[in-house]
């Protein structure tokens, strides 16, 4: 398992990735492989099929820094079946108060 450094993790953050990709059998596995490579275990994974032969994948990971989320989103976006990748970084303390606006990043 890769070593984690303070720069690579942030214990009080939750990152939600939203990926739109072609509905191919191996897309979800390719996306999840990037999380495994950095030793990040998602707390929630959801994949929904869309009527236009795409799928929307939502992955939530806790303890990931903004920098690591940015790099990971860029890597996921390089997968040939992925159309777009976005992510939202929230502080776990802020999740109880939904009045705060989250920081949304998109890679396309």
Does the residue 54 lie in any domain?
A: yes
Does the residue 2 lie in any domain?
A: no
What's the whole-model pTM score?
0.78
CB neighbour class for 23 (10 Å; exposed up to 12, middle 13-18, buried from 19):
middle
Does the residue 71 lie in any domain?
A: yes
Q: Of 101, 79, 94, 62, give the one whose Cα is nearest residue 26.
A: 79
Does the residue 1 lie in any domain?
A: no
Does the residue 3 lie in any domain?
A: no
Write out the residue range of the structural domain in which residue 93 sits: 11-107
pLDDT truncated to tens, each residue of the chain (108 aa)? Answer: 444 444 444 678 999 999 999 999 999 999 999 999 999 999 999 999 999 999 999 999 999 999 999 999 999 999 999 999 999 999 887 655 444 444 555 554
Does the residue 21 lie in any domain?
A: yes
Number of domains in the chain: 1
CATH number at residue 53: 3.30.70.260
d(CA 32, CA 54): 17
Quick one: tokens of 20? 């739109």
Contact 107, 84 (CB under 8 A): yes
Does the residue 4 lie in any domain?
A: no
Does the residue 16 lie in any domain?
A: yes
């Amino acid at each position: 398992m890769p070593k984690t450094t303070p720069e690579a993790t942030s214990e009080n953050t939750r990152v939600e990735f939203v990926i739109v990709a072609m509905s191919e059998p191996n897309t979800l596995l390719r996306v999840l492989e990037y999380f495994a490579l950095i030793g990040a275990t998602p707390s929630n994974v959801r994949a929904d099929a869309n009527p236009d032969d795409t799928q929307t994948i939502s992955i939530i990971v806790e303890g990931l820094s903004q920098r690591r989320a940015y790099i990971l989103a860029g890597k996921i976006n390089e997968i040939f079946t992925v159309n777009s990748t976005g992510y939202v970084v929230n502080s776990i303390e802020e999740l109880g108060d939904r009045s705060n606006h989250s920081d949304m990043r998109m890679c396309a």
